[in-house]
Amino acid sequence: MPFSANLSILFTELPFLDRFAAAKAAGFDDVECWWAFSTPVPTDDEVTAFLRAIDEADVSLRALNLYAGDMPSGDRGVLSHPGVEDLLAEHLVALSRILSATGCRVVNALYGCALPDVPAAEHADIAVANLRNIADVLSPAGVVVVVEPLTRGENGTYPLETVEDAIAIVDRVDRSSVRVLFDAYHLHNNGMDLANALRVHAGRIGHVQIADSPGRHEPGSGTIDFDAFFAALDEIGYDGFVGCEYRPASTTTEGLGWLARVSSTESDVLADID
């Protein structure tokens, strides 16, 4: 089972562009991140520096977030917000350049928090229209766009809380390249039986991310049964990457013992099968 290090939340003791090399040194060949720039349309120099950091570290970018607004201030995406069509069109130019240069094939499109004067149905209509356009631009290159439910109470008025919430939007989009991001931390926090949900929704999942709960630290630090979770991923034949999107309880490298244990267990299982 391949794991990718989410560099927006791991190795944060280092400047962002230095994290790619740190991930490689820690044993990760694959990485992912949120939108890596402060604006939806970064400068050419910013994109070049980002791509150079990936290339020089000799890692592969496996997932990237669509521009999600001002996340430190509480934004959780702009996909469902009125009047963002021109912004997203400009953003897709820069995003496409990065995807083409890196071979990244998963884009996480955060839905956006509910705005006080916008009805939920209007938000959904806007999100569906934007997702169709994004998918039509990106799918010819084999890119999957994923829609993510988030933890209730930690993400403002973000309305998607369950896999079913995300599927309701995905079904309306009606594009095979638009799927669900299955994040163990968020879905567990909202009361979902993770292993069962993986089995039920196996065909709808485009990417997986993990963190333990409570605390959003590394697996093994909280109450999620990751043995059952990883077993269910194997059972359904999930062949994508598992994004390590957690906040280390100490430093990133000190907290990687869980990964060695998972890798060792998988090796033992494969040896028994052989």
Tens-level pLDDT at each residue, the chain (274 residues)? 899 999 999 999 999 999 999 999 999 999 999 999 999 999 999 999 999 999 999 999 999 999 999 999 999 999 999 999 999 999 999 999 999 999 999 999 999 999 999 999 999 999 999 999 999 999 999 999 999 999 999 999 999 999 999 999 999 999 999 999 999 999 999 999 999 999 999 999 999 999 999 999 999 999 999 999 999 999 999 999 999 999 999 999 999 999 988 877 664 443 343 4
Structural domain span for residue 11: 3-273
Q: Is 105:64 a contact under the CB 8 Å cutoff?
A: no
Q: Is 38:44 a contact under the CB 8 Å cutoff?
A: no
Distance, CA of 126 to CA of 79 (rounded, Å): 7
Inter-CA distances, 12 with 5, 6, 15, 46, 59, Å: 12, 10, 7, 19, 18
Torsion of CA 161, 203, 99, 127, to 10 degrees: -40
The structure's pTM equals 0.94
Q: How many domains are contained in the chain?
A: 1
Query: Which of 141, 243, 271 lies closest to 185 in space, CA to CA?
Result: 243
Query: Which of 17, 81, 86 lies closest to 51 in space, CA to CA?
Result: 17
* Residue 274, pLDDT score: 40
Catalytic choice (32, 161, 218, 245): 245
168: its two tokens: 């309701």
DSSP letter for each residue of 112-170: -PPPTTS-HHHHHHHHHHHHHHHHHHHGGGTPEEEE----TTTSTT----SHHHHHHHH
Instruction: Find the helix packing angle between 120-138 and 163-173, rounded to 10°.
Output: 60
Instruction: Confirm whether 148 is a catalytic residue.
Output: yes
CATH classification at residue 237? 3.20.20.150
